[in-house]
A = this chain, B = another copy of it.
Amino acid sequence: MNRKKYQVIYDQLKADIRQGIYCQGQLLPSEMELCLQFETSRETLRKSLQLLQNDAYIQKIRGKGSIVIYDPSLNFELASLTSFQEINAGLSQPYQTEVAVLETIKAKDYPDVKTALQLRDFDTILRVVRLRKKGPRVNIVDIDFFNPKLVPGITEEVAQTSIYRYIEKDLNLVISHSAKTITFQPANQTLQDYFQQLEPAYVALVEATVFLGDGQPFQLNQSHHRPSSFKFTNFSRRQS
Contacts and interface: CB of A to CB of B under 8 A. Distances in A.
A239 B14 CA distance: 15
Contacts of A56: 177, 179
A146 B64 CA distance: 26
Contact of A237 (B61, B80, B234, B236): B80
A71 interface: yes
A122 interface: no
A117 to B, nearest CB: 13
Q: In the complex this chain forms, how many copies of it are found?
A: 2
Given A184-B230, A200-B200, A69 B177 contact: yes
Interface in A208-240: 211, 213-215, 227-228, 230-239
A27 to B, nearest CB: 10
A1 to B, nearest CB: 17
Contacts of A175: 238
Interface in A175-190: 175-184
Given A179-B71, A236-B177, A215 B59 contact: yes
A184 B213 contact: no
Contact of A183 (B213, B215, B230): B230
B181 A235 contact: no
A200 to B, nearest CB: 4
Given A59-B176, A176-B237, A200-B202, 13 more contacts: A59-B177, A61-B214, A79-B234, A80-B238, A175-B238, A176-B238, A180-B233, A181-B232, A181-B234, A183-B230, A183-B231, A183-B232, A234-B234
8 contacts: A43-B43, A56-B179, A69-B177, A176-B238, A177-B235, A179-B234, A180-B233, A183-B230
